[in-house]
Amino acid sequence: MIKYEIKTGSAFLNEKARNQRDLAYKPELKGMRCNSCSSDTIVRFVESDLKYVKAEIHSCCSTFDMRIRQKLWPNKN
């Protein structure tokens, strides 16, 4: 199961993180699960700069991490 955490410390950045989660991550990753692991995958939104939010993906295994990244960024090698 994929879980999302938003902990930036700023109301403005929390809003940006919620928008990024709802518009980019959730629609793309909906229904994905790891068939070989029983632990959760955490997508944590953290402050990257004073104005930006970045997502850190903490997957249950490297195979599922690769599947997530391929789904989110298909053209990136």
Strands 53-58 and 41-47, by their bridges, are: antiparallel
The pLDDT value given to residue 53: 93
Determine whether 13 is exposed, middle or buried from the number of CB atoms within 10 Å of its CB (0-12, 13-18, 19+): buried
The pLDDT value given to residue 58: 94
The pLDDT value given to residue 77: 61
pTM for this model (two decimals) = 0.85
Q: Show pLDDT as tens, one digit a residue, over the chain (77 residues).
A: 899 999 888 899 999 999 999 999 999 999 898 888 888 999 999 998 778 899 999 999 999 999 999 999 888 76
The pLDDT value given to residue 76: 73
